[in-house]
Amino acid sequence: MCGIIGYTGHRPAVPFIIEGLRRLEYRGYDSSGVCYAQSGRLNVVRAEGKLALLEDKLANMEVSLATTGMGHTRWATHGAPTENNAHPHRSSRGELCLVHNGIIENYQEHKNALIGKGYCFSSDTDTEVLVNLIADERAAGMPLLQAFANALKKAQGAFALALMSPEEPDVVYAARHSAPLLLGIGQGENFVASDIPAFLPYTRDVVFLEDGEIVRITPGTWQVFSIESLEPLDKRTHHIEWDLQAAQKGGFKHFMLKEIFEQPRVIADCMAGRVDMARREVSIPELADANIPSRLRIVACGTSFHAGLWAAPLFETWAGIPTTVEIASEFRYRSPLLEAGEAVLVISQSGETADTLAALRIAREKDCPVIGVCNVVGSSIAREADAVVFTQAGPEISVASTKALSSQMTALLLMALYWGHRRGVLPAGVMQEALHGLSSLPGHMENSLPALREQAKGLARRYSACKGMFFLGRGQSFPLALEGALKVKELSYIHAEGYAAGEMKHGPIALIEPDFLSFFLAPHDALFAKSKSNLEEVQARSGPVIVLTNPHTEGKELRAAETWTLPEAWGPLNGFLMLCALQLFSYETATCLGKDVDQPRNLAKSVTVE
Ligand code: AGP
């Protein structure tokens, strides 16, 4: 949560920082601020609300001479989203400025000690405590690098930080522990940021900083140090292959819509290099050296958790691997028993989700092998897992996850095929059918998306006034029902719940009334008749119903329902088209209600706090 950026070089720093913050705004957008060095002083400008309000303030200021600065876009953790709590924060004597992504857990004890020494605080943030802790070390005579490191050694929690001092006006210091931070290396300019798009127009050469590292950048130099020893460290530079186009809207009104429409390509990219259509084979080179687990524990959060729920039956029925799926924030606090031969499979788009990362570390402490299914190369989860299967979805900017889920479902399905084949237990015909279906899925999806969007628009117009919604499914449609409800909740702020359709009669059906929508996921599968009975139970109680289904189930059988018919795909592949329909329904519902689709209230893309 929160995006930070730092720059030192030859171009005007403030416009660059604003541009970078705009590409980090998905990480938090309740307030923002910049610090820039000009005429030997550090100037700070902050604003409550969206970045545009900070730009309005800066419009009347002369900032063009500053070539070093840093910025922050906030998702509030300590203190309300006010200007006073916005970053950068100054030390109480004004000499240092700090921007921070994360949480300092022991800030209160340090605050009390600093107050005792005469330091004053004007915000409710943990960040203001940390900047004063650094100032206190500096006041004790430590050089700035040492003072920064000493203060960080006293801080517990998660942080990615950038620090400036008027003593070194063309230098930015930055450090990380359990929150993402990258160094961008340019020609006569250097960058630090929470994510690559912040500086991608200016350099594709990136150094991934690790926990416990500090970096010092000047326009012409950069050096990474260990926080513990201050020893200089050798770091490898990575060249980023994707370009800014991938991180821009490309003519779509919202990132979410663009990312929904990217799904056919994302599925094809995830298969590339893994599926040999001619030989009807799947290979996952990243797993070639790993033992096949005898039991699988999938751990993830949010949409990634739904991917795990969706894939679990495939690992069981195709690969014969008993599989359980857990929410990472629960797994991490319940001392899970892990058996010999078991593997933990963590799924994360960002690779930075704090709870998922903690679950990974717990598994590793227990000597349990960890496999990551991850999108972001260089992320903490990608680096700390024993093996990583990259989903290759490209940058996902919209806070609401869409294409990441399709790519996770593809990667997990391929893993189930791969392990099933390697173990010799894959049911006859499944490889053939699955690969045949997968090869036509991107084209199928691409052709269907425009019509699905129109249908979603019509349904959103008719049902967006509903006071609540159920999303109901059975079997592999159940996790997608959870996802449909999550999307509607986060984008439209309508209370929506995902349920196993068979659970309705055990309580939830009491909520049914004429303005409470039930959205059934009832594909043409073995469970259709059961879902149909549940649907009729809702209709019998005057509840409006939308049913997402396939052509074979249309007609008399569902006469009274509002049917949304999708072209039929093979077995589990139906889930991909249903997912698109659900995503578009939530998108159009939010649009109908005038909500901010890409930046829903109270949320941030990357959840690096607990
Ligand atoms: C869903 O739209 C959200 N973006 C959220 O539930 C997300 O899936 C969750 O925070 C997990 O993120 P991760 O995949 O990056 O770990």
Instruction: List the CATH number of the domain containing 446.
Output: 3.40.50.10490
CATH number for position 197: 3.60.20.10
CA angle 38, 43, 46 (to 5 degrees): 140
Determine, yes or no, domain membership for 121: yes
Q: Where is the domain boundary, 199, 223, 248? A: 248
- Of all protein residues, whose CA lies closest to atom 7 belonging to ligand 1? 302
Determine, yes or no, domain membership for 609: no
| Residue to probe by mutation, ligand 1, list 1, 254, 303, 493, most atoms within 8 Å of CB | 303
What share of the chain in percent tops pLDDT 90? 74
Residue 209: exposed, middle, or buried by beta-carbon count in 10 A (0-12, 13-18, 19+)?
A: buried
356 C-beta closer than 6 A to ligand 1? yes
User: Cα dihedral angle (147, 148, 150, 154), rounded to 10 degrees?
Assistant: 140
Nearest to 490 by CA among 604, 407, 608: 604
Can you give the pLDDT at residue 552? 75
Q: How far apart are CA 269 and CA 81, in angstroms?
A: 40
Q: Which tens digit of pLDDT belongs to each residue from 348-378? A: 999 999 999 999 999 999 999 999 999 998 8
The number of beta carbons lying within 10 Å of the beta carbon of residue 136 is 21
Provide the domain limits for residue 262: 258-592
Q: Say if CB 518 and CB 472 are below 8 A apart.
A: yes
155 and 278 in a single domain? The answer is: no
425-432: long-range pairs with CB below 8 Å, 24+: 425/318, 425/319, 425/320, 426/318, 426/319, 427/317, 427/318, 430/318, 431/280, 431/281, 431/282, 432/280
222 and 283 in a single domain? The answer is: no
Determine, yes or no, domain membership for 607: no
401 C-beta closer than 6 A to ligand 1? yes
Nearest atom, ligand 1, residue 404 CA: 14
Instruction: Quote the distance between the C-alpha of residue 159 and its chain's center.
Output: 17
Q: Which tens digit of pLDDT belongs to each residue from 169-183? A: 999 999 999 888 999
- Of all protein residues, whose CA lies closest to atom 8 belonging to ligand 1? 303
pLDDT greater than 90 at residue 75: no
Determine, yes or no, domain membership for 600: no
48-57, 202-211, 531-540, 583-592: segment of lowest average pLDDT: 531-540
Q: How far apart are CA 603 and CA 399, in angstroms?
A: 7
Nearest to 404 by CA among 351, 337, 328: 351
Distance from residue 211's CA to the centre of ligand 1 (Å):
22
Q: Report the domain count for the chain.
A: 2
pLDDT greater than 80 at residue 244: no
125 C-beta closer than 6 A to ligand 1? no
228 and 269 in a single domain? The answer is: no
400 C-beta closer than 6 A to ligand 1? yes
Determine, yes or no, domain membership for 474: yes
pLDDT greater than 70 at residue 558: no
353 C-beta closer than 6 A to ligand 1? yes
Nearest atom, ligand 1, residue 303 CA: 8
Coil/strand/helix, residue 223:
strand
211 and 291 in a single domain? The answer is: no
- Which residues are 565's β-sheet partners? 549
Nearest atom, ligand 1, residue 402 CA: 2
Distance from residue 132's CA to the centre of ligand 1 (Å):
34
| Residue to probe by mutation, ligand 1, list 27, 75, 255, 304, most atoms within 8 Å of CB | 304
pLDDT greater than 60 at residue 556: no
583 C-beta closer than 6 A to ligand 1? no
Determine, yes or no, domain membership for 599: no
Q: How far apart are CA 429 and CA 417, in angstroms?
A: 11
Q: How far apart are CA 33 and CA 54, in angstroms?
A: 7
Can you give the pLDDT at residue 173? 98
Determine, yes or no, domain membership for 433: yes
pLDDT band at 554 (very low <50, low <70, confident <90, very high): low
Can you give the pLDDT at residue 153? 96
Query: Amino acid identity, residue 265?
Result: R
Q: Which tens digit of pLDDT belongs to each residue from 414-459? A: 999 999 999 999 998 999 999 999 999 999 999 999 999 999 999 9
Q: Where is the domain boundary, 213, 248, 283? A: 248
Q: Which helix (H) or strand (E) holds 519?
A: strand 516-521
Can you give the pLDDT at residue 555? 55
Sign for the CA dihedral angle at 471, 437, 305, 451 comes to negative
Q: Cis omega before residue 88 (within 30°)?
A: yes
Nearest atom, ligand 1, residue 490 CA: 2
- Of all protein residues, whose CA lies closest to atom 2 belonging to ligand 1? 400
**Those residues with Cβ within 8 angstroms of residue 27's Cβ, 6 or more apart along the chain or in another chain:** 1, 2, 3, 73, 75, 101, 194, 195, 604, 605, 606
Q: Where is the domain boundary, 182, 217, 248? A: 248
The number of CA neighbours under 13 Å toward the Cβ of 430 is 21
The residues annotated as belonging to the active site are 2, 605
262 and 199 in a single domain? The answer is: no
78 and 124 in a single domain? The answer is: yes
Can you give the pLDDT at residue 559? 67
The number of beta carbons lying within 10 Å of the beta carbon of residue 562 is 16
Q: How far apart are CA 432 and CA 574, in angstroms?
A: 16
Q: How far apart are CA 260 and CA 585, in angstroms?
A: 11
Q: Which tens digit of pLDDT belongs to each residue from 138-165? A: 999 999 999 999 999 999 988 999 999 9
pLDDT greater than 80 at residue 7: yes
218 and 284 in a single domain? The answer is: no
341 and 222 in a single domain? The answer is: no
Determine, yes or no, domain membership for 606: no
Across the beta sheet with 238-239, the strand order is 41-48, 31-38, 68-74, 3-8, 190-193, 182-185, 205-208, 238-239
270 and 238 in a single domain? The answer is: no
Q: Which tens digit of pLDDT belongs to each residue from 294-332? A: 999 999 999 999 999 999 999 999 999 999 999 999 998
226 and 269 in a single domain? The answer is: no
292 and 159 in a single domain? The answer is: no
349 C-beta closer than 6 A to ligand 1? yes
Q: Say if CB 246 and CB 394 are below 8 A apart.
A: yes
312 and 426 in a single domain? The answer is: yes
